Amino acid sequence: MLYSTLMSIYRSNPLFALLLSCAASSVLASSEGSGCSADTGKTECPSLLQTTSATVAKRMAEQLEEEGEDEDEVEEEMEEESASEQVEAVEDVDALGSEFSKPSTRVDALSSTVAEAIAAAKDAKNIASDAKASETELAKEIDVMKKRLGKLEEGNKQDMMRSDDQDLRGGMPLTCSQEEIIRTKLMTEMKVKGKRTARIIRAVFHDAIDENNLLVKNKETGIWEPAEGNYGGVDDCLYSPLTQGDKGHPEPTHNKNLGGISVEYMKLCTRLCKSARFANTTLCDKSKNRCEVDLRVLGALVTIETAGGPRIPMTWGRKKGKCGNMIVSEGKTAPEPALRFAPSLTGLDDADSFRTAFDRLGFSPKDQAALMGAHTFGKLAVCAGGLNGIEKGNFCNDHAKLDPPLKLSNFAPWSKPQGGPCIPVYGKIGGGVSNGCWAKAPGGDLAPVFARSWMNRSTTYAGMKYGRGLGDGGFFDTTPDTFDNDYYKLFADDTFGGKDVCCGKMKKGECDRAKGSPARITKRNAAGRGMQAELVKGGECAISWCRDDRKDKTHMKSTRAWAEAPHDFVKKGAKFGVTKRIIRLAGDWALLGNDLTHASVKLFAKDQSAFFEAFKVAFTKVMNKGYKNLVHCSDDNQKQADKSDKLREEDNQKQADKPDKLRAADKGNSERKGKGPR
C-alpha cells in the first residue's frame, strides 16, 4: 500500500518526483562512494534534500491550492487507484530497490522523509488557510475602519465647515416688509450707531474669509497643511491666521473684541421668533440655525447705512456652522484649524503680500481698496491688537499746521500764552463751543485736554480736574463716526515710500517713535533693517505720517491730523481721552504700494459715490461667501405669505364650525398618524 501511494504521488506530483529521484541518487551515491557523499553534502541532490520542511511544505501547499484539492480528497484519490496501477507501482519500486545496496533501510529512510513532508504540507495548508481567513477578516476590519474614518472625517468637517446645501425649506421666505421691520429693530434696539457697532462690519469680513481657506496640523509631522474640501464662508465661525505665516500658532489678537456681539443678536432672534409674524419664516427654522448669522450680516448693512454709507441689498439663507464658540482659533492652546492666508496686521514693507492675500480671497484691486475703506467708520480701541501706546510719539506743536488747524475757540482758558473759551465737558465735543479742546503748557507743549474727575496728573481749573494728551488708541480719519470718503482724502497724495520716515530717530535699524527728531531711512540691508538715515527738514510739522516699529507692531501714525469724536463713541473717554491721532496699519498703507489700488484710493478720495458703489459690490461678495442659493426678500413672498395666512384662517374657521365630536375624532386620527408603526 505504501508503494502504491508513493508511486501515485510520484506520477501526479512533479515535486515528489524530483524528491524521490534525488533521494535515490543520494542513496546510491552514499553506497558507491560517489561525489554525493554525506561528508561533503554540497552536490545538487543533497542540497535539495536539505531544503527545510517549511519550504517543501509551502510548495506543496501552493500546489494543492492550485489544483483545488484538500488533504482528504488526495487520500481518497489514492485509495481509488486501480489494482493494475498498484502492481505497476510495486514493480517500479522493486526495480528501484534492486539498485540500492541496502534497499529496505534506504526505502524506510525515504518513507520517513516523505511522511515528514506530508505532515509539513498539512501544517502549511492549515497555516495558509488560517492566513487566508485572517486576510479576509483583516479586509473586513479595514473596510469597517474606512467607513468609520469617513464618518469621522465628515463629522470633523461638519464641525468646522458648513454644508453647501442652502435650501430654504422649513418656513415661508421673508417678505420685504418683514425685512424692513427687522432693519428698524436693529437701528433702534441694537443702537447700531453706538461705540461697539463698527466691529459688526469687521466681524462679517473676518467670518467670510475662511471659505476653503483653512490649515490643519498634521499630527505626525507637526506641519500645518491646507484643509481639503468645500467649506466655510459666513457661518458664525471665526478663525485666526498663524503667527508666522505657515507655522506658529493662531494669532491671539486677530479676532479681538468680536466674540461678544453674538449675544445681542441671539436675544433679538429669540424675540423675533417668538412673535407670530416671524415664527413660521425660514429665518426662524431651528433646524437650520439661520437667524443669528443672517441678523449679524443685516446688522452690518444697517450700521453702514445708518452711519451715512450706501444701502446694500440683503440676502437671506445663511446657516450657522458647528464650531461651538464663535471665535474658534486664538492663541497657543487654540484648537485647529487656522486661516491659511489673511491680510496681516503688520508687514508694512511688503505691499505685494496684501494684494496676493486679497486676490486669493477673490477680491480685485478695486475691491481691496473699497473694503479697506470700511476703516472710515470706527476706531482702534484702547490696547487693540497689542497696539497699546499707539497714540504716543512725536506730534506737530504748531497749532496752525494741524489738520484741522486750531483756532482761538479750540483753546482752554488755562492755555499759555493765550487762553480761549473751550472748557472740556464730558459728553460735549469741544465743550460745546468748538471741534475739540486744546491747551499749551508753559513750556510750549501743545496737547488736547478732556474732562476727568479722578486720577492723578490732572489739570485743575475752577475746582475741576482735566486730563491732558492724545487719547489711547486711534482713529482712521477725522470723521470716525461717519461712513464717508475722508479715509482716502488723508493719504491719497502720499507715496508708499513714506513708510521709511520714522517718528523719531533710527534705532538699531528700526524706527523709534519719540526719541530724537523724525529721520528718514535711506538705506536698508537685505533683511530690511535700516543702515543709514537722515533727519527730516522741518521735523514733525513738515510731514503728515511717520513710522513706529515698537515691539514689531509696525504702523504709520499722523503727525498733524486729529479728531475728537462723540464721547459715547469711544471707550472710557473720561479715563483714556476723547481726542485721538489718525492711524494707518500695514494693510492701509499697502494700498499705496500697488498702482491699481492706489488709483482707486485717488478715485475714492475725489468721488464718494464711486467709493459707495465699489463698496456695495465688494461687501456683497464678502457677505455671500460660502453660499450659492441665497435669496432676496420679495413682494411675491408677501403675496405667498398673505395666501398662507388666508388658508390658515379658513382652516381655523372650518375647525371652529365642526361639532365637538368631529374635532375630537380628527384630533385622535392625527395623533395615531403621528405615532406611526411600531
User: Are 640 and 603 part of one and the same domain?
Assistant: no
Q: What is the DSSP string of 125-149?
A: HHHHHHHHHHHHHHHHHHHHHHHHH
The pLDDT-based confidence of 536 (bands split at 50, 70, 90) is very high
Torsion from C-alpha of 133, 135, 141, 144, nearest 10 degrees: -110
The C-alpha atoms of residue 75 and residue 280 are separated, in whole angstroms, by 80
Count CA within 13 A, CB hemisphere, residue 16: 22
Q: Is the pLDDT assigned to residue 620 strictly greater than 80?
A: yes
Convert the pLDDT of each residue in 275-289 to its tens digit.
Answer: 999 999 999 987 768
Residue 525 lies in a domain: yes
User: Are 470 and 507 part of one and the same domain?
Assistant: yes
User: Are 394 and 543 part of one and the same domain?
Assistant: yes
Query: What's the total number of domains in the chain?
Result: 4
Q: Which pLDDT score, from 0 to 100, does residue 142 have?
A: 63
Convert the pLDDT of each residue in 333-347 to its tens digit.
Answer: 656 788 988 887 778
User: Are 119 and 246 part of one and the same domain?
Assistant: no
Q: What are phi and psi of 345, to 5 degrees?
A: -75, -35
User: Are 315 and 208 part of one and the same domain?
Assistant: yes
Q: At which of 113, 135, 157 does a domain end?
A: 135
Q: Is the pLDDT assigned to residue 209 strictly greater than 90?
A: yes
Question: 120-134, 545-559, 634-648: which has the highest mean pLDDT?
Answer: 545-559
Residue 421 lies in a domain: yes
For the chain, what percent of residues have pLDDT higher than 90?
44
Convert the pLDDT of each residue in 55-97 to its tens digit.
Answer: 544 554 455 455 444 444 444 544 454 444 444 544 544 544 4
Residue 285 lies in a domain: yes
User: Are 10 and 105 part of one and the same domain?
Assistant: yes
27 contacts 100 by C-beta, under 8 angstroms: yes
Average pLDDT score, the chain: 77
Burial of 407 (0-12, 13-18, 19+ CB in 10 A): middle
Segment 376-397 shows an average pLDDT of 82
Segment 401-419 shows an average pLDDT of 94
The pLDDT-based confidence of 251 (bands split at 50, 70, 90) is confident
Give the closest residue to 257 by CA, choosing from 92, 132, 441, 382: 382
Q: Which pLDDT score, from 0 to 100, does residue 356 have?
A: 94
Residue 361 lies in a domain: no
Q: At which of 342, 363, 391 does a domain end?
A: 342
Instruction: Give 84 or 197, the one with higher predicted confidence.
Output: 197
User: Are 336 and 387 part of one and the same domain?
Assistant: no
User: Are 299 and 384 part of one and the same domain?
Assistant: no
**Sheet strands (E) in 494-586:** 506-507, 510-511, 519-524, 530-535, 545-548, 555-564, 579-584
Q: Which pLDDT score, from 0 to 100, does residue 359 have?
A: 96
Lowest mean pLDDT among 63-67, 314-318, 321-325, 630-634: 63-67
Sign of CA dihedral 38, 43, 45, 50: positive
Residue 441 lies in a domain: yes
| Helices vs. strands in the chain: H and E counts, helices first | 20, 16
Residue 283 lies in a domain: yes
20 contacts 101 by C-beta, under 8 angstroms: no
Residue 354 lies in a domain: no
Domain that holds residue 261: 176-342
Residue 28 lies in a domain: yes
> How far is C-alpha 315 from the chain's CA centre?
23
User: Are 643 and 586 part of one and the same domain?
Assistant: no
Q: Which pLDDT score, from 0 to 100, does residue 107 have?
A: 45
Q: Which pLDDT score, from 0 to 100, does residue 78 have?
A: 47
Instruction: Give 565 or 77, the one with higher predicted confidence.
Output: 565
Helix (H) or strand (E) holding 259: none
Segment 621-636 shows an average pLDDT of 92
User: Are 397 and 510 part of one and the same domain?
Assistant: yes
Q: What is the pTM of this model?
A: 0.70
Q: Which pLDDT score, from 0 to 100, does residue 82 have?
A: 45
The pLDDT-based confidence of 17 (bands split at 50, 70, 90) is low
Question: 35-49, 147-161, 185-199, 647-661: which has the highest mean pLDDT?
Answer: 185-199
User: Are 118 and 254 part of one and the same domain?
Assistant: no
Q: Is the pLDDT assigned to residue 18 strictly greater than 80?
A: no
Q: Is the pLDDT assigned to residue 234 strictly greater than 90?
A: yes
Lowest mean pLDDT among 16-30, 162-176, 611-625: 16-30
User: Are 320 and 188 part of one and the same domain?
Assistant: yes
Q: At which of 78, 106, 135 does a domain end?
A: 135
Question: 180-189, 381-390, 408-417: which has the highest mean pLDDT?
Answer: 408-417
